[in-house]
Structure 1
Amino acid sequence: MSSPQTAQVRVDASAWQGELAHSWNYIGYDEINYTTTPEGEELLAKFMAMQEKPYFVRPHHLFCTGNGHGIPKWGSTNAYLEDDDGTPIYDWTIVDQVFDTMLKYRCKPFVELGFMPQDLADPAHYDIGADAWSAQQYRATGWAAPPKDYQKWYDLVHALVQHCQQRYGENEIATWYWELWNEPDIFYWRGTPEEFNKLYDYTAAAVRAASPSARVGGPATTNPGPSSRAAAYLEGFLEHCANGRNAYTGGTGAPLDFISFHVKGGGYRADPRHRKQNPPSVKQVLRDTANGYAIISKYPQFQGLECILSEIDPDGWAAGGAHDNANLNFRNTEYYASFTAAAFDKVSRFAKQNGWDLRLLTWAFLFVGERCFEGTRVFSTQGIDKAIMNLFRMYAQIGTQQVAFESSAAKNPLDYADMNGRGEKPDIAGFAALSGSKRLDVLVYNHHDDWDMRGEYTVELEVAGLPFAGKSVTVTHQRIDAEHSNAYAEWVRQGRPNYPAPGQRAAIKARDGLELLEAPRTVEATSSTLRLSFTLPVHGISLLTLTAAE
């Protein structure tokens, strides 16, 4: 009998379960202008270096008015202005720089069509006459207003898509996503749901008119929790696209090539007293994803469409950090990686069980000029990669032929009595995949929502059905935990410097890559079953790669 601190994990490499959808190749961030900074290009180059397929990049503020300089939670391109007579002036200079940079690093734009240009904002929501100098009111509310003229909005979207078609080619932009807006069910949209649906009608018509093969969709609403405004908004949007009167064509319904909504595991706001709050909840992420699926399933005409969780994260407020609220320090640590591994695994399993084409977008990038390990939701801080970046390095190595994976310590968060599994043991689970007949990858994570939980578990791994029985097998074991693939631990050892001195930085940077738990070793697969044992701490992730000798 296994001890309470042991997990029995069994992988059957002969039990194929179809393709493992590498659906995690999506990232996003508020500050569109960070894309073209040296720091932004450095990070995109890292994604290019590890990608097995292009990453899609979704920034906010594509149409916003300003000085073209990114700051936390804000960006601008001046793509749309009007002359004194109200004639539109299109300027694609910054937009081109952003898209060119994405493509330079073999990424692809996930084009978020928003927000409202200053000169196009509805005066009922925003008075440009009182704001021509400071633009403070525009940044407060004007960007979220409906357009004063829906035809001018149509013309703007059409002009952008047409410009991209001419610059990059129809075949290229047909691979992009064209998504309207972001989170219209909250403060990102100052109009009514009906006005948003009208905006979608004009947007979809403009995209399709400029590029018939382009993919257009939305509505990028927030967590569709049970009986929530977000759930009602998502359903109202789908009902409109299915059966509503189209405000542009006068016909019934609107084109919809993909559906998007967001799920977060919790939320934090500034708290100078730094009181401990509830941790993020994998259960909430899974529950709201399942509820979104239930809403979509009411519309048979939308079955089979891609659905993108165009933000799936432990929490909201990416620009907030540990100095704003000490709870956000979890983003610096291995916890962020283990939460993401658990959440992605649970929603991906749900999607596979339901034959649902689900894609996952991590809302994280970087912040220029921040203090080291600020605690913002980023992959890299001052050019030093966090543990979360190393999870994506693990993902990029994994094969595509999924095989059976079972764990005696796996949990279903929907069974938890509360939102965080208090009183439950940690969830030890994962997945496995083959690459041809000579390599097997097994990812095992150990997660509990309580970021203060400690402990170490023994994982007894049995791999059956090996396609390379009778051969020597090299076992490579990569690990993310408090001491591996985790530059934060070294930053703490170096005294937590806000701006590390050159020697400190070198020591911290040396630990920011994906690290081995032990040196690779060779074992003999004398039969089709191989047994391995290792310890895995809470909030740890192991990637074991078994490679047959030539």
Structure 2
Amino acid sequence: MLLVKKPSTSRRLGKASQFSTTSRLAFGPAMALLLATAVLMTGCTPTPERADADRPATVYPPQPAFAPSPIPSGADDVPTAEATTMTMLADYSSKGTPLDTGVLLNGSQGAYPPTRNLHWLTSQAAQISAMGINEIRIDDVFNDASYDVINVGGNGEIQYDFSKLDSVLLPLIDNGITPFIVLSYMPLAFAPSHHELPSTTILWTDAVSELVSHYVLLGHAGWSYEVWNEPDTEKWSGSIADYNEFYAASADAVNTADPKAKVGGSATSGIHSAGNWSGSFIDYLGANPEVPADFFSFHNYRVPNWDDVSEVQGWLDQAGRGSVPIYVTEWNNISFMDHGPGQGSDTNSSVDGSSFIAAQMYRALGSGVAKVFYFSPVEGLNYRSPYNGDLGLITVDGHRKSAGNVFEMYSRLDSVLIDSDISGEGSATQDVYGLLTKNAKEATAEAILWNNTASDVVSSVSLQGLPYADSKFRVTEKVVSAAKGNAFSDGYNFISPAYPSANENAPVVSDEIIAGAATFERQIRVPANGVVSLSLSASDEAVGQLVISAPPAAINLASTQSGAVATASSSIEAVNEDWGVAGVTDGRRHAFEPRQPAVRGWSSELRSEPIGAESITIDLGATKPVDSMVLWPRDSQAYNGAGFPIDFTVRGSQDNITWEPLYSATNYNDGKVVEGPQTISLPPGEFRYLKVEATALAVAETTPQTQYAFQLTELEAYRTGVSNGGFESSALDGWTFKGVASAESSTVRSGKYSLALSGKGAAASMFVKGLLPDTTYTFGGHVRSESKVGAVTVAVSGTGTDDVSQDVRSTNWRPAWVTFTTGHDATSATISVTKRGAQGLAWADDFLLTQKAE
């Protein structure tokens, strides 16, 4: 059993209909995309509920082929010609010291051009959560082009509209992430440019008060607010003295609106920047003790250490403000974001890569810093390039980088840090090093080893005093390297159609049950620029190696990279404007416009009337099994939902001549503008061609006159294998329930809805027909709990062989999956998800059923 300990989080509950009775069974899967991360698999354990216990053995005709299950661990790393050694000795029984990973697990989101698309960042909220990030710094909140919070009315009064900012911040909260707000930059209603002082201070302080009060009224008191961003650069046109006074007025406005809030500054680009901004600000705080400062902040780049923290602490002590916590609100190695593929954080060995990140995070723990914020959770400077040497944990297109796997490894650490004796080449600088944590109550241990050098390291690990003298225990090893847990190795000049891609998530490379012992000793090869994690827990399974499997992946069959080609009834082909039929299969899901270069997708020719047929046809390249389609609308602020059809049909064909109707919509979404990706359930079938034909068009342009078209940013097709596995039917079609279940729209991993379970033992199950005998399948999805007490169980039963299940305990989204093999005459199974604890809610989303490739 995997035990994942995370702090509890606040959340916003959305309205959803409740179910306590059995809903009808139906085939017609909906699609919700997987952004999976590798987690540990439990062994085969009895599943308490057997919804099919009394069901007679029946032979069902086979379904169309299922999507292939991923291969577990991918390619092997090539050993380096030479290797160094490291020794790690630790005693689990020692007292240790408390470990607060909340110091480390924070992000500073760059105000990249894509942030002006209000769907872009929120589409990665669950992925950010899955990496363990607790708090995310949001810049640019008063920038008119981003959120348009402040406007001037016809009679000159100031008007506030937080709806756009809400649409970004509230989904983060729903995914367990607390916003950290940067009060920047200046609204144009107050000054001639975003980097100038306001015409009068009261205009600014009123705006700050309105913003803070707005979120207090929504139930979000106690957030942190940072006054401006890098005032020591061109982002501030005033003097140091101007900033100090500006800070004091802003801090007073924050505290008046929310006495529980934390406020701080000066958020400089570095403590030694020209003009001594940081030192001057601290002197100002010392001379004005009445000015509130709940933290002092600065940015840390281009140094592989945290030495500036101790220097700042000395300045604070001298100023009589030594108790003020120190925050580093942006950190990385270098700050360049455009040095080309393979640079930045692109891969394990790049200058800001995963091995550097692992070492630098550990160094922060002993530096005296209160919080650090990694720049940046999601990247997007060059948003047309899958990789360009940017600094994100996640690419602009939603694939996790190797550094993101390191964040997840740190998020799994236990709450007590054990002193370790580590020696060997590179240990003095902690470039070759490791750590061990424990949870004595649960008898678990987590270790991370890293190697921030270009040669392999053979690590001799010796753990003493383990609590397993009288029980067997399980040791699970994962790795991030050049070939594993490194999406860059899957290709850097195209967008992978698989989520996750083959080597995106850190794979399990060893999973072993060991006979009872109080010691554990093993030699572990940590690859060049690699990171390895070890998880130990008590077990009652048989001694020996466990079978390793990988989580199922959602593979877009309609992608250019999958061999698909699009044609259309008509098409605007304008390369400079990024309109073209090829854009509907290029993997780019969001529209970025009007800035250049734009990302748009496909548009039919513009019409003056909404009536008239326009269609897009996808040739998959070969006949393939399909059961769902996802239509990504044009979703920029200026054209959100534009051109999405009101009446349309979906048809499939094997020869492009005879067409089978699969779906029909009239007055789709009641004729209202659509928000985000639209998932279409299709009857499972095998097709080479898919056609979407619109007969009632929506408004595409309003200037210089209203015009109509059929427009999509992206079209995707999938074989999910699970009817309504993404719960996009708000009626939860296809599932049978025990207890209380709901389709919830606030806490979702992707799409519009997820499954919410309330009460101990609440469960959803589905009887799946048409499996093949003696065949291996993988069933999995993503789960999350409101409370860390009690697991969420994903299980499969009634297969003609052993029932299998996996328990996950996490307040962050985590993948959960099981692999099973059907019996000699078994053609069905029951898949299920069950809430084990009584407290809070549990959520599930994005289930897939895949088949082992022959």
TM-score with structure 2 setting the length: 0.50
2:366 aligned with 1:337 = no
| Structure 2 equivalent of residue 277 of structure 1 | none
1:296/1:430 Cα in 2 relative to 1: closer, same or farther (>3 Å)? farther
Asked whether the equivalents of residues 40 and 366 of structure 1 are also in contact (C-alpha less than 8 Å), the reply is no
Instruction: Report how far residue 158 of structure 1 moved.
Output: 0.9
**Sequence identity percentage:** 21
Aligned with residue 388 of structure 1, among 388, 403, 411: 403
The one of 253, 274, 280 equivalent to 1:236 is 280
- Cα separation, partners in 2 of 1:364 and 1:358, compared to 1, 3 Å: closer
Runs of 4+ aligned structure 1 residues displaced above 6 Å come to none
- State the alpha-carbon separation in 2 of the partners of residues 149 and 322 from structure 1: 42
Matched, 1:314 2:333: yes
Amino acid at match of 1:162: S
Q: Does 1:440 align with 2:445?
A: yes
2:62 is the alignment partner of 1:15: no
Scaled by the length of structure 1, what TM-score is found?
A: 0.76
The residue type equivalent to 2:393 in the other structure is: F
CA distance 1:159–1:38, shift in 2 (3 Å): closer
Distance in 2, Cα, partners of 1:12 & 1:327: 39
Question: Counterpart of 2:376 in structure 1: which amino acid?
Answer: W
Does the 8 A contact of 1:334 with 1:480 survive in 2? Answer: no
1:39 and 1:205 map into 2 onto residues whose CA distance is: 33
Shift of 1:525: 4.3
Shift of 1:357: 3.1
CA change 1:457–1:144 in 2 (3 A) is same
Equivalent positions of 1:152-163 (< 5 A) are 152-163=203-214
Q: How far apart are the structure 1 equivalents of 2:233 and 2:333? A: 19
- Partner amino acid for 2:90? V
For residues 454-502 of structure 1, what are the alpha-carbon distances to aligned partners after superposition, in whole Å with 9 as ceiling and x for unaligned? Answer: 32111000112212224322110111111111111121xxxx43345xx
Q: 2:181 & 2:499 partners in 1: Cα distance?
A: 38
Give yes or no for contact 2:449–2:533 (8 Å, CA) kept in 1. yes
**CA displacement at 1:445 relative to structure 2:** 0.8
* 1:497 matched residue in structure 2: 493
Instruction: Name the structure where strand makes up a greater proportion of residues.
Output: 2
Instruction: Show CA shifts across 1:502-521 (max 9, x none).
Output: xxx339712211212x2301
Gaps of 5+ in 2: 1-81, 541-854
CA displacement, residues 205-250 of structure 1 (integer Å, 9 cap, x when unaligned):
111111112111111112224xx537x3222112212313xxxxxx
Alignment of 1:254-333 (within 5 A): 254-265=291-302, 281-282=303-304, 285-303=305-323, 305-317=324-336, 320-323=337-340, 328=343, 331-333=346-348
> Shift in Å at residue 144 of structure 1?
1.4
One of 89, 100, 109 as aligned partner of 2:159? 89
| 1:531 alignment counterpart | 521
Partner of 2:108: helix, strand, or coil? strand
Instruction: Look up the match of 1:202.
Output: 249
For residues 360-407 of structure 1, give each alpha carbon's deviation from its aligned partner in whole angstroms, at most 9, with x where no partner exists: 444331328432223211222222211011111111211111111221
Q: Note the aligned Cα RMSD (angstroms).
A: 2.5
Q: Deviations over 1:384-435 (max 9, x none)?
A: 211011111111211111111221035444xxxxxxxxxxxx8211211102
Q: Which residue of 2 aligns with 1:519?
A: 510
Change in 2 beyond 3 A, CA 1:64/1:329: closer
CA distance in 2: counterparts of 1:48 and 1:308, whole angstroms: 21
User: For residue 124 of structure 2, what is the aligned residue in structure 1?
Assistant: 43
Q: Which residue of 2 aligns with 1:278?
A: none
Moved more, 332-341 or 105-114: 332-341
Contact 1:224/1:291 (CA < 8 Å) preserved in 2?
no
User: Within 1, Cα distance between the matches of 2:349 and 2:409?
Assistant: 14
CA distance, structure 2, for counterparts of residue 238 and residue 370 of structure 1: 42
Q: Distance in 2 between matches of 1:389 and 1:321?
A: 19
Residues 46-445 of structure 1: matches in 2 within 5 Å?
Answer: 46-51=127-132, 55-66=134-145, 76-83=146-153, 86-121=156-191, 128=192, 142-166=193-217, 168-169=218-219, 172-174=220-222, 176-225=223-272, 228-229=273-274, 232-244=276-288, 253-265=290-302, 281-282=303-304, 285-303=305-323, 305-317=324-336, 320-323=337-340, 328=343, 331-335=346-350, 336-351=353-368, 357-367=370-380, 369-381=383-395, 382-409=397-424, 410-413=426-429, 427-437=431-441, 438-445=443-450
SS at match of 1:463: strand
Q: Deviations over 1:332-383 (max 9, x none)?
A: 33441111111111121222xxxx5344444331328432223211222222
Q: Tell me by how many angstroms 1:291 deviates.
A: 2.4
Q: Which has the larger radius of gyration?
A: 2
Bigger proportion of residues as helix: 1
For the residue of structure 1 that corresponds to 2:432, the secondary structure is strand
Offset, 1:197: 0.5
CA deviation profile, 1:109-162 (whole Å, cap 9, x unmatched): 1011111111212xxxxxx4xxxxxxxxxxxxx211122211111111111111
Q: Distance in 1 between matches of 2:394 and 2:116?
A: 14
Tell me how far apart the structure 1 counterparts of residues 359 and 514 of structure 2 sit (CA, whole Å). Answer: 30
Between stretches 78-87 and 17-26, larger displacement belongs to 78-87
Are the counterparts in 2 of residues 348 and 358 from structure 1 also a CA contact under 8 Å?
A: no
Determine the structure 2 residue equivalent to 1:464: 464
**Preserved contact between residue 386 and residue 488 of structure 1 (Cα < 8 Å):** yes
- Distance change >3 Å, CA 473–CA 30, structure 1 → 2: same
Q: Secondary structure at the match of 1:241?
A: helix
CA distance in 1: counterparts of 2:234 and 2:126, whole angstroms: 34
Structure 1: runs of 5+ lacking an equivalent? 67-75, 122-127, 129-141, 245-251, 266-280, 414-425, 449-453
User: Within 1, Cα distance between the matches of 2:329 and 2:466?
Assistant: 37
- The one-letter code sitting in structure 2 at the alignment partner of 1:498 is F
Q: Is the 8 A contact 2:271 2:279 kept in 1?
A: no
**1:44 is aligned with what amino acid?**
A
Cα 1:455–1:350 change in 2 (3 A) is same
CA distance in 2, matches of 1:488, 1:357: 32
Give the aligned residue type for 1:322: H
